[in-house]
Amino acid sequence: MANTDITLADILKVGEEDAQYLVSLIRSVPNFPKEGILFRDFMPVFADARALQILMRALEAALPVPADDIDAVAGLEARGFLFGPALAAHLGKGFVAVRKAGKLPPETVSESYSLEYGEATIEVESDAIKPGERVLIVDDLIATGGSAKAARQLVTACGGTVAGFSFVMELEGLDGIAELGDYPTSSLLRMPA
What is the per-residue pLDDT for 188?
Answer: 87
Beta bridge partners, 30, equal: 38
pLDDT confidence band for 174 (50 / 70 / 90): confident
Q: Quick check: is 40 catalytic?
A: no
- Report percent pLDDT > 90 for the chain: 64
Catalytic residue among 40, 79, 99, 152: 79
Query: Is a pLDDT exceeding 60 seen at residue 6?
Result: no
d(CA 190, CA 19): 13
Catalytic residue among 116, 125, 179, 190: 116
pLDDT for 112-133, tens place per residue? 998 766 789 999 999 999 999 9
Q: Which domains, and CATH codes, for the chain? A: 2-192 (3.40.50.2020)
d(CA 122, CA 187): 22
Q: Quick check: is 152 catalytic?
A: no
Cα-Cα end-to-end distance for the chain: 22
**Structure pTM?**
0.90
